[in-house]
Structure 1
Amino acid sequence: MSATEEDGLLRRPFKLIALLCAFLALALDVAALLSPAWVTSERYSLSLWEACRQVPDGWRCLSTLQSDWQVATLVLILTAATVTLVSFLTSLISFCLGTYKRYYQVVAVLLFIAVVLQVCALILYPIKFIDSILLKSYHEFNWGYGLGWGSGIFMLGAAILYCLRTDLYEDAYY
Protein backbone atom coordinates (compact mmCIF):
# COMPACT_ATOMS: atom_id res chain seq x y z
CA MET A 1 0.00 0.00 0.00
CA SER A 2 1.50 3.34 -1.00
CA ALA A 3 1.58 6.45 1.16
CA THR A 4 -1.23 7.97 -0.90
CA GLU A 5 -3.47 4.95 -0.31
CA GLU A 6 -2.70 4.92 3.38
CA ASP A 7 -3.46 8.64 3.63
CA GLY A 8 -6.76 8.12 1.78
CA LEU A 9 -7.60 5.20 4.01
CA LEU A 10 -7.02 7.32 7.07
CA ARG A 11 -9.16 10.15 5.78
CA ARG A 12 -11.97 8.06 4.34
CA PRO A 13 -12.38 4.79 6.22
CA PHE A 14 -15.62 3.84 4.43
CA LYS A 15 -14.61 0.22 3.93
CA LEU A 16 -13.72 -0.22 7.58
CA ILE A 17 -17.05 1.29 8.58
CA ALA A 18 -18.74 -1.04 6.09
CA LEU A 19 -16.98 -3.99 7.69
CA LEU A 20 -18.27 -2.85 11.09
CA CYS A 21 -21.80 -2.45 9.67
CA ALA A 22 -21.68 -5.98 8.23
CA PHE A 23 -20.58 -7.32 11.62
CA LEU A 24 -23.39 -5.46 13.40
CA ALA A 25 -25.90 -6.73 10.84
CA LEU A 26 -24.73 -10.28 11.45
CA ALA A 27 -24.90 -9.87 15.24
CA LEU A 28 -28.40 -8.36 15.08
CA ASP A 29 -29.54 -11.14 12.74
CA VAL A 30 -28.32 -13.82 15.14
CA ALA A 31 -30.02 -12.03 18.06
CA ALA A 32 -33.26 -11.80 16.06
CA LEU A 33 -33.10 -15.49 15.19
CA LEU A 34 -32.61 -16.44 18.83
CA SER A 35 -35.15 -13.96 20.19
CA PRO A 36 -38.05 -15.52 22.09
CA ALA A 37 -40.34 -12.58 21.37
CA TRP A 38 -41.34 -11.59 17.86
CA VAL A 39 -45.03 -11.17 18.67
CA THR A 40 -46.37 -10.90 22.21
CA SER A 41 -49.65 -10.35 23.96
CA GLU A 42 -50.76 -10.73 27.55
CA ARG A 43 -50.84 -14.53 27.47
CA TYR A 44 -49.06 -15.39 24.25
CA SER A 45 -45.55 -15.23 22.79
CA LEU A 46 -44.44 -16.12 19.28
CA SER A 47 -40.87 -16.50 18.06
CA LEU A 48 -39.45 -17.94 14.86
CA TRP A 49 -39.09 -21.32 16.57
CA GLU A 50 -42.06 -21.73 18.92
CA ALA A 51 -45.42 -20.36 19.96
CA CYS A 52 -46.14 -20.27 23.69
CA ARG A 53 -49.48 -19.84 25.44
CA GLN A 54 -50.06 -19.24 29.10
CA VAL A 55 -52.28 -21.93 30.60
CA PRO A 56 -53.43 -22.18 34.24
CA ASP A 57 -50.52 -24.44 35.22
CA GLY A 58 -47.75 -22.50 33.38
CA TRP A 59 -46.68 -22.00 29.77
CA ARG A 60 -47.31 -24.48 26.94
CA CYS A 61 -45.06 -24.15 23.89
CA LEU A 62 -45.44 -25.72 20.46
CA SER A 63 -43.13 -25.68 17.47
CA THR A 64 -43.91 -23.17 14.73
CA LEU A 65 -42.10 -25.22 12.11
CA GLN A 66 -45.39 -26.80 11.02
CA SER A 67 -46.66 -23.62 9.39
CA ASP A 68 -45.36 -22.98 5.88
CA TRP A 69 -45.12 -19.19 6.19
CA GLN A 70 -43.18 -19.42 9.44
CA VAL A 71 -40.75 -21.90 7.91
CA ALA A 72 -40.39 -19.63 4.86
CA THR A 73 -39.64 -16.65 7.12
CA LEU A 74 -37.07 -18.66 9.06
CA VAL A 75 -35.38 -19.92 5.88
CA LEU A 76 -35.23 -16.42 4.38
CA ILE A 77 -33.65 -14.96 7.51
CA LEU A 78 -31.22 -17.86 7.92
CA THR A 79 -30.19 -17.46 4.27
CA ALA A 80 -29.74 -13.70 4.70
CA ALA A 81 -27.61 -14.33 7.81
CA THR A 82 -25.50 -16.89 5.95
CA VAL A 83 -24.95 -14.55 3.00
CA THR A 84 -24.03 -11.76 5.42
CA LEU A 85 -21.58 -14.07 7.18
CA VAL A 86 -19.93 -15.01 3.87
CA SER A 87 -19.67 -11.37 2.82
CA PHE A 88 -18.30 -10.35 6.23
CA LEU A 89 -15.65 -13.09 6.19
CA THR A 90 -14.70 -12.30 2.59
CA SER A 91 -14.36 -8.64 3.42
CA LEU A 92 -12.43 -9.28 6.62
CA ILE A 93 -9.96 -11.66 4.98
CA SER A 94 -9.40 -9.42 1.98
CA PHE A 95 -9.00 -6.36 4.23
CA CYS A 96 -6.44 -8.15 6.41
CA LEU A 97 -4.49 -9.45 3.40
CA GLY A 98 -4.42 -6.03 1.75
CA THR A 99 -6.29 -7.21 -1.35
CA TYR A 100 -9.40 -5.39 -0.27
CA LYS A 101 -10.14 -3.62 -3.57
CA ARG A 102 -10.68 -6.84 -5.51
CA TYR A 103 -13.67 -8.11 -3.57
CA TYR A 104 -15.68 -4.97 -2.78
CA GLN A 105 -18.11 -5.43 -5.66
CA VAL A 106 -18.70 -9.08 -4.79
CA VAL A 107 -19.27 -8.23 -1.12
CA ALA A 108 -21.63 -5.39 -2.06
CA VAL A 109 -23.70 -7.67 -4.32
CA LEU A 110 -23.86 -10.33 -1.61
CA LEU A 111 -25.03 -7.78 0.94
CA PHE A 112 -27.70 -6.44 -1.43
CA ILE A 113 -28.94 -10.02 -1.89
CA ALA A 114 -29.03 -10.43 1.90
CA VAL A 115 -31.02 -7.19 2.23
CA VAL A 116 -33.61 -8.40 -0.28
CA LEU A 117 -33.97 -11.73 1.53
CA GLN A 118 -34.23 -10.04 4.93
CA VAL A 119 -36.81 -7.48 3.81
CA CYS A 120 -38.90 -10.20 2.12
CA ALA A 121 -38.94 -12.17 5.36
CA LEU A 122 -39.78 -9.14 7.46
CA ILE A 123 -42.66 -8.18 5.19
CA LEU A 124 -43.95 -11.74 4.88
CA TYR A 125 -44.03 -12.30 8.64
CA PRO A 126 -46.61 -9.69 9.75
CA ILE A 127 -48.78 -10.13 6.65
CA LYS A 128 -49.11 -13.88 7.13
CA PHE A 129 -49.37 -13.52 10.92
CA ILE A 130 -52.32 -11.16 10.64
CA ASP A 131 -53.82 -13.28 7.85
CA SER A 132 -53.67 -16.43 9.97
CA ILE A 133 -55.34 -14.67 12.93
CA LEU A 134 -53.41 -16.48 15.62
CA LEU A 135 -54.39 -13.88 18.22
CA LYS A 136 -57.81 -12.37 18.61
CA SER A 137 -56.65 -10.05 21.38
CA TYR A 138 -54.30 -7.09 21.44
CA HIS A 139 -50.81 -8.04 20.29
CA GLU A 140 -47.63 -6.22 19.32
CA PHE A 141 -44.55 -6.98 17.31
CA ASN A 142 -41.76 -7.08 19.83
CA TRP A 143 -38.00 -6.53 19.98
CA GLY A 144 -37.02 -9.67 18.05
CA TYR A 145 -38.86 -8.37 15.00
CA GLY A 146 -37.24 -4.97 15.48
CA LEU A 147 -33.78 -6.55 15.61
CA GLY A 148 -34.51 -8.10 12.22
CA TRP A 149 -35.21 -4.64 10.78
CA GLY A 150 -32.09 -3.24 12.44
CA SER A 151 -30.05 -5.98 10.85
CA GLY A 152 -31.50 -5.18 7.43
CA ILE A 153 -30.65 -1.50 7.84
CA PHE A 154 -27.03 -2.28 8.74
CA MET A 155 -26.78 -4.70 5.79
CA LEU A 156 -28.00 -1.99 3.45
CA GLY A 157 -25.59 0.55 4.93
CA ALA A 158 -22.66 -1.82 4.50
CA ALA A 159 -23.64 -2.61 0.92
CA ILE A 160 -23.85 1.09 0.04
CA LEU A 161 -20.50 1.81 1.68
CA TYR A 162 -18.87 -1.03 -0.26
CA CYS A 163 -20.21 0.51 -3.49
CA LEU A 164 -18.44 3.82 -2.88
CA ARG A 165 -15.39 4.24 -5.10
CA THR A 166 -13.17 6.57 -3.09
CA ASP A 167 -10.03 5.62 -5.04
CA LEU A 168 -11.27 7.45 -8.15
CA TYR A 169 -11.50 10.77 -6.34
CA GLU A 170 -8.26 10.57 -4.39
CA ASP A 171 -6.02 10.79 -7.49
CA ALA A 172 -7.47 14.19 -8.45
CA TYR A 173 -6.16 15.75 -5.25
CA TYR A 174 -2.54 14.65 -5.67
Structure 2
Amino acid sequence: MASAGSGMEEVRVSVLTPLKLVGLVCIFLALCLDLGAVLSPAWVTADHQYYLSLWESCRKPASLDIWHCESTLSSDWQIATLALLLGGAAIILIAFLVGLISICVGSRRRFYRPVAVMLFAAVVLQVCSLVLYPIKFIETVSLKIYHEFNWGYGLAWGATIFSFGGAILYCLNPKNYEDYY
Protein backbone atom coordinates (compact mmCIF):
# COMPACT_ATOMS: atom_id res chain seq x y z
CA MET A 1 0.00 0.00 0.00
CA ALA A 2 1.13 3.49 -0.70
CA SER A 3 1.15 6.21 1.89
CA ALA A 4 -1.43 8.97 1.66
CA GLY A 5 1.15 11.62 0.90
CA SER A 6 3.00 9.89 -1.92
CA GLY A 7 0.30 10.45 -4.53
CA MET A 8 0.27 6.80 -5.61
CA GLU A 9 -3.04 5.06 -5.96
CA GLU A 10 -3.87 1.72 -4.47
CA VAL A 11 -4.59 -0.83 -7.17
CA ARG A 12 -7.03 -3.60 -6.40
CA VAL A 13 -6.50 -6.82 -8.21
CA SER A 14 -9.40 -9.17 -8.66
CA VAL A 15 -8.06 -12.64 -8.11
CA LEU A 16 -9.77 -15.57 -9.76
CA THR A 17 -10.19 -18.15 -7.04
CA PRO A 18 -9.89 -21.86 -7.73
CA LEU A 19 -13.43 -22.44 -6.48
CA LYS A 20 -14.84 -20.25 -9.25
CA LEU A 21 -12.83 -22.19 -11.82
CA VAL A 22 -14.14 -25.45 -10.39
CA GLY A 23 -17.63 -23.93 -10.51
CA LEU A 24 -17.16 -23.11 -14.18
CA VAL A 25 -15.95 -26.66 -14.84
CA CYS A 26 -19.07 -27.96 -13.05
CA ILE A 27 -21.25 -25.82 -15.30
CA PHE A 28 -19.44 -27.11 -18.40
CA LEU A 29 -19.87 -30.72 -17.26
CA ALA A 30 -23.56 -30.05 -16.60
CA LEU A 31 -23.90 -28.75 -20.17
CA CYS A 32 -22.21 -31.84 -21.58
CA LEU A 33 -24.36 -34.18 -19.49
CA ASP A 34 -27.53 -32.30 -20.48
CA LEU A 35 -26.61 -32.64 -24.13
CA GLY A 36 -26.02 -36.36 -23.67
CA ALA A 37 -29.30 -36.77 -21.80
CA VAL A 38 -31.35 -34.94 -24.42
CA LEU A 39 -29.80 -36.92 -27.28
CA SER A 40 -29.85 -40.25 -25.45
CA PRO A 41 -31.97 -43.00 -26.99
CA ALA A 42 -32.25 -44.81 -23.66
CA TRP A 43 -34.24 -43.17 -20.89
CA VAL A 44 -36.33 -46.26 -20.24
CA THR A 45 -35.58 -49.75 -21.54
CA ALA A 46 -37.23 -53.14 -21.14
CA ASP A 47 -35.63 -56.49 -21.99
CA HIS A 48 -34.65 -55.63 -25.58
CA GLN A 49 -38.34 -55.17 -26.40
CA TYR A 50 -38.96 -51.53 -25.57
CA TYR A 51 -37.08 -48.28 -25.26
CA LEU A 52 -38.20 -44.76 -24.63
CA SER A 53 -36.27 -41.54 -25.16
CA LEU A 54 -37.36 -37.94 -25.02
CA TRP A 55 -38.05 -38.05 -28.75
CA GLU A 56 -39.40 -41.50 -29.60
CA SER A 57 -40.85 -44.67 -28.19
CA CYS A 58 -39.95 -47.98 -29.83
CA ARG A 59 -41.39 -51.46 -29.36
CA LYS A 60 -40.31 -54.78 -30.78
CA PRO A 61 -42.87 -57.57 -30.62
CA ALA A 62 -41.34 -60.80 -29.34
CA SER A 63 -42.20 -62.67 -32.54
CA LEU A 64 -40.67 -60.09 -34.93
CA ASP A 65 -37.23 -58.59 -35.43
CA ILE A 66 -38.60 -55.22 -36.56
CA TRP A 67 -38.82 -52.22 -34.25
CA HIS A 68 -41.97 -50.09 -34.41
CA CYS A 69 -41.20 -46.49 -33.39
CA GLU A 70 -43.43 -43.48 -32.84
CA SER A 71 -42.87 -39.93 -31.72
CA THR A 72 -43.31 -39.12 -28.04
CA LEU A 73 -44.11 -35.49 -28.78
CA SER A 74 -47.83 -36.25 -28.87
CA SER A 75 -48.01 -36.77 -25.11
CA ASP A 76 -48.38 -33.70 -22.90
CA TRP A 77 -46.21 -34.96 -20.06
CA GLN A 78 -43.37 -35.90 -22.39
CA ILE A 79 -43.49 -32.48 -24.03
CA ALA A 80 -43.48 -30.87 -20.57
CA THR A 81 -40.51 -33.00 -19.51
CA LEU A 82 -38.60 -32.07 -22.65
CA ALA A 83 -39.47 -28.38 -22.30
CA LEU A 84 -38.39 -28.25 -18.65
CA LEU A 85 -35.15 -30.10 -19.39
CA LEU A 86 -34.33 -27.93 -22.41
CA GLY A 87 -35.25 -24.78 -20.47
CA GLY A 88 -32.87 -25.78 -17.70
CA ALA A 89 -30.15 -26.57 -20.25
CA ALA A 90 -30.64 -23.17 -21.91
CA ILE A 91 -30.29 -21.41 -18.55
CA ILE A 92 -27.16 -23.45 -17.81
CA LEU A 93 -25.74 -22.42 -21.19
CA ILE A 94 -26.40 -18.75 -20.42
CA ALA A 95 -24.85 -19.14 -16.96
CA PHE A 96 -21.80 -20.79 -18.51
CA LEU A 97 -21.39 -17.96 -21.02
CA VAL A 98 -21.77 -15.31 -18.31
CA GLY A 99 -19.28 -17.18 -16.10
CA LEU A 100 -16.83 -17.49 -18.98
CA ILE A 101 -17.18 -13.82 -19.87
CA SER A 102 -16.71 -12.88 -16.22
CA ILE A 103 -13.32 -14.58 -16.26
CA CYS A 104 -12.25 -12.44 -19.21
CA VAL A 105 -13.58 -9.19 -17.71
CA GLY A 106 -11.84 -7.56 -14.76
CA SER A 107 -14.87 -7.23 -12.46
CA ARG A 108 -15.69 -10.85 -11.74
CA ARG A 109 -17.55 -10.51 -8.46
CA ARG A 110 -20.36 -8.62 -10.11
CA PHE A 111 -21.27 -11.76 -12.09
CA TYR A 112 -21.12 -14.33 -9.28
CA ARG A 113 -24.62 -13.81 -7.93
CA PRO A 114 -26.43 -13.81 -11.33
CA VAL A 115 -24.65 -17.02 -12.33
CA ALA A 116 -25.63 -18.68 -9.05
CA VAL A 117 -29.26 -17.56 -9.38
CA MET A 118 -29.44 -18.84 -12.97
CA LEU A 119 -27.99 -22.19 -11.92
CA PHE A 120 -30.44 -22.57 -9.04
CA ALA A 121 -33.31 -21.78 -11.44
CA ALA A 122 -32.00 -24.42 -13.86
CA VAL A 123 -31.78 -26.96 -11.03
CA VAL A 124 -35.42 -26.31 -10.10
CA LEU A 125 -36.56 -26.78 -13.72
CA GLN A 126 -34.54 -29.94 -14.18
CA VAL A 127 -35.60 -31.50 -10.88
CA CYS A 128 -39.23 -30.85 -11.84
CA SER A 129 -38.71 -32.59 -15.18
CA LEU A 130 -36.86 -35.52 -13.61
CA VAL A 131 -39.56 -36.07 -11.00
CA LEU A 132 -42.39 -35.64 -13.51
CA TYR A 133 -40.92 -38.16 -15.96
CA PRO A 134 -41.04 -41.37 -13.87
CA ILE A 135 -44.35 -40.48 -12.22
CA LYS A 136 -46.14 -39.94 -15.52
CA PHE A 137 -44.34 -42.87 -17.17
CA ILE A 138 -45.59 -45.28 -14.51
CA GLU A 139 -49.12 -43.81 -14.74
CA THR A 140 -49.40 -44.08 -18.52
CA VAL A 141 -47.46 -47.18 -19.56
CA SER A 142 -48.76 -50.65 -18.86
CA LEU A 143 -45.91 -52.46 -17.15
CA LYS A 144 -46.21 -56.03 -18.45
CA ILE A 145 -42.44 -56.53 -18.47
CA TYR A 146 -39.63 -55.18 -16.30
CA HIS A 147 -38.74 -51.58 -17.19
CA GLU A 148 -35.69 -49.74 -15.95
CA PHE A 149 -34.63 -46.13 -16.12
CA ASN A 150 -31.44 -46.15 -18.10
CA TRP A 151 -28.33 -44.03 -18.65
CA GLY A 152 -30.09 -41.12 -20.39
CA TYR A 153 -32.15 -40.48 -17.27
CA GLY A 154 -29.00 -40.84 -15.17
CA LEU A 155 -27.14 -38.30 -17.30
CA ALA A 156 -29.93 -35.79 -16.69
CA TRP A 157 -29.59 -36.32 -12.93
CA GLY A 158 -25.83 -35.92 -13.25
CA ALA A 159 -26.30 -32.60 -15.06
CA THR A 160 -28.64 -31.43 -12.32
CA ILE A 161 -26.17 -32.38 -9.59
CA PHE A 162 -23.27 -30.61 -11.33
CA SER A 163 -25.45 -27.52 -11.83
CA PHE A 164 -26.27 -27.50 -8.14
CA GLY A 165 -22.59 -27.88 -7.27
CA GLY A 166 -21.67 -25.00 -9.57
CA ALA A 167 -24.38 -22.84 -8.00
CA ILE A 168 -23.06 -23.55 -4.51
CA LEU A 169 -19.50 -22.70 -5.60
CA TYR A 170 -20.66 -19.43 -7.13
CA CYS A 171 -22.49 -18.55 -3.89
CA LEU A 172 -19.34 -18.74 -1.79
CA ASN A 173 -18.08 -15.31 -0.84
CA PRO A 174 -14.48 -14.88 -1.98
CA LYS A 175 -13.79 -12.32 0.77
CA ASN A 176 -14.10 -15.06 3.38
CA TYR A 177 -11.41 -17.29 1.92
CA GLU A 178 -9.13 -15.10 -0.19
CA ASP A 179 -6.52 -15.13 2.60
CA TYR A 180 -6.02 -18.85 1.95
CA TYR A 181 -5.00 -18.40 -1.69
TM-score normalised by length of structure 1: 0.90
Say which of 48, 54, 74 aligns to 2:54. 48
**Any stretches of 5+ residues in structure 2 without a counterpart?**
1-10
Query: Is the partner of 1:102 in helix, strand or coil?
Result: helix
Residue 161 of structure 1 corresponds to 169
Higher helix share: 1
Say which of 34, 40, 43 aligns to 1:35. 40
Q: Return the offset for 1:153.
A: 0.2
Q: Which has the larger radius of gyration?
A: 2
Judge which range, 68-77 or 50-59, deviates more: 50-59
Q: Return the offset for 1:167.
A: 1.9
Matched, 1:135 2:143: yes
Residue 112 of structure 1 corresponds to 120
The residue identity in structure 1 corresponding to 2:56 is E
1:82-121, aligned counterparts within 5 Å? 82-121=90-129
Query: Is the partner of 1:51 in helix, strand or coil?
Result: strand
**Percent of pairs identical after alignment?**
60
Query: Is the partner of 2:57 in helix, strand or coil?
Result: strand
- Tell me, yes or no, if the aligned pair for 2:14 and 2:107 is still in contact at 8 Å: no
Q: Return the offset for 1:98.
A: 2.5
Q: Deviations over 1:117-159 (max 9, x none)?
A: 0000000000000011243210100000000000000000000
The residue identity in structure 2 corresponding to 1:136 is K
Q: Return the offset for 1:4.
A: 6.7
- Tell me, yes or no, if the aligned pair for 2:14 and 2:108 is still in contact at 8 Å: no
Structure 2: distance between partners of 1:70 and 1:169 = 44
Residue 123 of structure 1 corresponds to 131
Residue 26 of structure 2 corresponds to 21
Structure 2: distance between partners of 1:3 and 1:105 = 20
- Tell me, yes or no, if the aligned pair for 2:92 and 2:118 is still in contact at 8 Å: yes
Structure 2: distance between partners of 1:39 and 1:25 = 21
The residue identity in structure 1 corresponding to 2:99 is S
How many matched pairs? Answer: 167
What's the RMSD between the two structures over aligned residues? 1.7
Judge which range, 125-134 or 84-93, deviates more: 125-134
TM-score normalised by length of structure 2: 0.87
